[in-house]
Amino acid sequence: MRKSVIAGNWKMNKSPSEAKVLVEALLPLAKESDVEVIIAPNFVSLPSVTAQVKGSKIKVAAQNMCAIESGAVTGETSVLMLKDIGVEAVILGHSERRQYFGETNEIVNKKIALALQHQLIPIYCVGETLEEREGGKFLAIIEQQVKEGLHNISATDMPKVIIAYEPVWAIGTGKVASGEQAEEVHAHIRRVLATLYSQSVADAVTIQYGGSVNPENVKELMAKPNIDGALVGGASLKADSFGALINYNK
Ligand SMILES: O=C(CO)COP(=O)(O)O
């Protein structure tokens, strides 16, 4: 059975000292949780946060990494550096990276392959814009993101990948996708995986929903058969709301 994973993407919020306070409050709340808990602080907080959560059930993710291992790439961060400090996962292809930094499915595909090569869990984000949804072609667009982003990823590696469906129109807008809207896309992603790999590989992949998830709407989303977790932005920045999310089933 696939894992339920709830992850907090802190984006460009929380200084290292603020991160320390938040993690301190999250540690006891995570202990009670029976889902897998991941937090993704900003790069400058990664060394202190990985040290702080050591031995707990919280895993730490980076919000991005370079597509190559090392070299003259000013301003980038290597998978080797992330591994060295105990980072276990990495968010890749987030719509903000696609929108502001020109990341394409092809670039993200290289990053996913490199992360897997170094045993880092890739959280691969896909999702359509409002225009694409209203144009009615959103399932085809998501299918293309899945196929291109996962190009040449083996059937053995695929169950290690987490896919996050994040409709761009739902991110930071308070406009959550309904359970039905999200389930339609999640089921489609799983069908695409079944055609690319096999039904058993598709069934093993955790697919998270992201976009205005909060303690009020998480239950409806998590009740859907193909929704296996959440990638949370705003509501992951406070211990009470993220604590409620990771214990939504209590
Ligand atoms: O982008 C997101 C997580 O990666 C979602 O952000 P919000 O939960 O703030 O809408």
What pLDDT digit, counting tens, does each position of 7-46 carry? 999 999 999 999 999 999 999 999 999 999 999 999 999 9
What pLDDT digit, counting tens, does each position of 218-227 carry? 999 999 999 9
pLDDT value at 132 more than 90: yes
- Percentage of the residues of the chain whose pLDDT score is greater than 90: 100
pLDDT value at 1 more than 90: no
What pLDDT digit, counting tens, does each position of 183-214 carry? 999 999 999 999 999 999 999 999 999 999 99
What's 184's domain CATH number? 3.20.20.70
What pLDDT digit, counting tens, does each position of 105-126 carry? 999 999 999 999 999 999 999 9
Active-site residue identified among 103, 166, 183, 186: 166
**How many whole angstroms from its chain centre is CA 182?**
15
- Percentage of the residues of the chain whose pLDDT score is greater than 70: 100
Tell me if 233 is assigned to a ligand binding site.
Answer: yes
18 noted as active-site residue: no
Residue 17 phi/psi, 5-degree rounding, is -70, -35
Average pLDDT over residues 237-241: 98
Q: How far apart are CA 175 and CA 80, in angstroms?
A: 37
Do the Cβ atoms of 166 and 123 come closer than 8 Å? no
Strand partners, 58: 37
Give residue 141's pLDDT band: very low, low, confident or very high (50, 70, 90). Answer: very high
- H or E segment at 209? strand 206-210
pLDDT, averaged across the chain? 98
186 noted as active-site residue: no
The structural domain count of the chain equals 1
Range of the domain at 206: 5-246
Tell me if 172 is assigned to a ligand binding site.
Answer: yes
The yes/no answer to whether this complex scores an ipTM above 0.95 is: yes
Which residues, in sequence order, are CB contacts of 186 under 8 Å at separation 6+?
165, 207, 209, 224, 226, 227
Q: Is the CB of 9 under 6 A from ligand 1?
A: yes
Average pLDDT over residues 159-181: 96
pLDDT value at 47 more than 80: yes
